């Protein structure tokens, strides 16, 4: 399901819908010619008509009006607009379950606005880096943290079409950020993340190491000419790397910082990356899933990726985790297990994912937490990083473009960017960066 097709739940953002941003807006006739023509189909599309009314009524409630005609007078009445602010902050605060006085409500809404900006900044920094100047947020919109101000900008002909679109986009992303914050408070995710880190430090990692102590190692690998898959990998220490000759074509040297865990008195090294998905990443996931409810779409708030030398060590690590959970006072239940380390096809369901990726993936439920685990061998990890068609950089491009998120956030008629063409260019760009770097 694409976020830009007829099943999109984000009707306010659709450029072929009743709230499309045109060159001019006539408040006496809130639809453009094209949108008014499209609106005639409401009788045949009851769902869209209902969604339109819901968005319209929400606008009216925030602005304390009964029709779009009243916005013209509102735009000219600065004092009245100022009086709307406490009303709007109170409504939005209650919507997201945020209590407190006006300053506290403003602080929370400002955080949601910052997350909305961070979504665009995140895309500018990597996936759309060569087009950063094309999609830069307008100064007027980036500076604004006031929902009433942004809402009125969308109806103000003094502002350019791009600015009016970005005001609307910021409000939509802000709403998603608010829902995510509410969900995080309900699930107590901050304390659970801290508890998970404490579980790892107290019960999983070797007691011979200090908390946070890491061993530097390198994966020296050779990759196939045909698809850049890893054909051979060797673990080297820092001293060995100093005397290593220059890398040849199709060779890579990858730094990993490894911890240790003990099994029967034997230390086994493991590279680990622990993460709590940030709010901007969660917003993008909601958009990719065409979903507004974080409880439905974001099931991987806490995650751990581990890389071990071989499949035997992988099995030992999983068993060590379950035993460590028991020591911590909770049984560990493994759910939604998928194991493709032996080479069988991965049951890819997410947009843009590859069925060729090799990994052990599961969710571990313990101590009131549910954590996503992705476990690799050295070889499968290097394929996850570098192999053509399965590398994470390529996946990140495919999932954002193929789900329609890029076109949703940066529609052609506003930004004049051909997203289908950019998609292919960016995949080639990341391939070049991967294969030409040592």
Interval 43-59 mean pLDDT: 80
Vertex 319 angle, CA 196 and 265, to 5°:
95
Which stretch of DSSP H or E encloses residue 256? strand 251-263
User: Rounded to 5 degrees, what are φ and ψ at 308?
Assistant: -125, 165
Q: What is the pLDDT of residue 155?
A: 93
The predicted structure's pLDDT at residue 140:
96
pLDDT at 366 over 60: yes
**Could you read off the pLDDT of 166-206 as tens digits, one per residue?**
999 999 999 999 999 999 999 998 899 999 999 999 999 99
- Residue found under tokens 């819901």: 54
**Looking at residue 138, what is its pLDDT?**
96
Which of 26-30, 49-53, 243-247 ranks highest by mean pLDDT? Answer: 243-247
Candidate ranges 247-251, 273-277, 397-401; pick with highest mean pLDDT: 397-401
Determine the angle formed by the axes of helices 419-436 and 392-402, rounding to 10 degrees: 180
Residue 147, CB half-sphere, CA atoms under 13 Å: how many?
31
pTM of the model: 0.90
For 171, 322, 324, 420, the CA distances from 136, given in Å and listed in that order, are 17, 47, 47, 20
Q: At what angle do helices 78-95 and 46-63 cross, to 10 degrees?
A: 120
pLDDT at residue 148 tops 90: yes
Beta-carbon contacts of 275 under 8 Å, excluding residues fewer than 6 positions away, are 302, 303, 304, 305
Q: What is the mean pLDDT of the chain?
A: 90
* pLDDT > 90 fraction of the chain, expressed in percent and rounded: 72
The residue among 313 and 209 whose pLDDT is bigger is 313
Averaged over 6-30, what is the pLDDT?
Answer: 76
333: pLDDT strictly greater than 60: yes
Residue 5 has pLDDT above 80, yes or no: no
Q: Three-class SS of residue 367? A: coil
* Nearest by Cα to 166 from 149, 187, 183, 184: 149
Q: Which residue has the higher pLDDT, 22 or 235?
A: 235
Per-residue model confidence (pLDDT) at position 246? 87
For residue 156, CA distances in Å to 60, 68, 113, 163 come to: 16, 12, 20, 10
DSSP H or E run through 262: strand 251-263
* Residue linked to tokens 């065409």: 290
- Report yes or no: 371 and 304 within 8 Å, Cβ to Cβ: yes
Q: Which two tokens stand for residue 423?
A: 């998609």
Question: pLDDT for 392-428, tens place per residue?
Answer: 999 999 999 999 999 999 999 999 999 999 999 999 9
- Give the H or E element holding residue 140: helix 139-143
């Amino acid at each position: 399901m694409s976020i830009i097709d007829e099943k999109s739940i984000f009707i306010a953002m659709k450029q072929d819908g009743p709230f499309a941003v045109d060159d001019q807006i006539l408040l006496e006739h809130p639809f453009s010619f094209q949108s008014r023509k499209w609106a005639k189909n409401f009788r045949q599309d009851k769902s869209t008509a209902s969604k339109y009314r819901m968005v319209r009524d929400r606008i009216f409630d925030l602005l304390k009006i009964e029709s779009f005609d009243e916005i013209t007078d509102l735009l000219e009445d600065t004092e009245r607009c100022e009086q709307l602010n406490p009303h709007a902050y109170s409504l939005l605060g209650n919507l997201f379950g945020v209590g407190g006085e006006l300053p506290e409500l403003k602080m929370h809404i400002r955080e949601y606005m910052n997350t909305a900006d961070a979504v665009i900044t995140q895309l500018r920094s990597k996936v759309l880096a060569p087009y950063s100047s094309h999609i830069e947020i307008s100064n007027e919109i980036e500076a604004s943290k006031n929902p009433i101000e942004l809402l009125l900008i969308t109806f103000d002909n003094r502002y350019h079409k791009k600015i009016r679109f970005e005001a609307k986009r910021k409000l939509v992303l802000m709403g998603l950020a608010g829902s995510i914050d509410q969900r995080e408070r309900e699930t107590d995710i901050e304390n659970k993340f801290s508890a998970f880190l404490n579980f790892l430090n107290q019960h999983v990692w070797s007691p011979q190491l200090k908390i946070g102590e890491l061993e530097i190692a390198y994966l020296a690998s050779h990759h196939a000419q045909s698809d850049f898959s890893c054909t051979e990998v060797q673990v080297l220490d820092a001293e060995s790397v100093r005397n290593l000759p220059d890398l040849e074509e199709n060779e890579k040297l990858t730094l990993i910082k490894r911890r240790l865990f003990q099994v029967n008195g034997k230390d086994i090294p493991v590279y680990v990356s622990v993460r709590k998905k940030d709010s901007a990443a969660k917003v993008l996931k909601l958009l990719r899933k065409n979903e507004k409810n974080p409880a439905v779409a974001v099931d991987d708030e806490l995650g751990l990726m581990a890389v071990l030398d071989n499949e035997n060590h992988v099995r030992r690590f999983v068993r060590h985790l379950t035993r460590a959970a028991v020591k911590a006072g909770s049984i560990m239940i493994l759910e939604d297990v998928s194991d493709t380390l032996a080479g069988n096809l991965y049951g890819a369901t997410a947009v843009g994912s590859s069925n060729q990726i090799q990994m052990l993936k599961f969710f571990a439920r313990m101590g009131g937490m549910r954590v996503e685990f992705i476990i690799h061998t050295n070889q499968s990890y290097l394929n996850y990083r570098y192999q053509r068609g399965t590398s994470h950089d390529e996946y990140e491009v495919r999932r954002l473009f193929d789900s329609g998120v890029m076109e949703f956030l940066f529609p052609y008629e506003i930004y004049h960017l051909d997203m289908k063409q950019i998609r292919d260019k960016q995949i080639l760009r990341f391939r070049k960066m991967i294969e030409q770097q040592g």
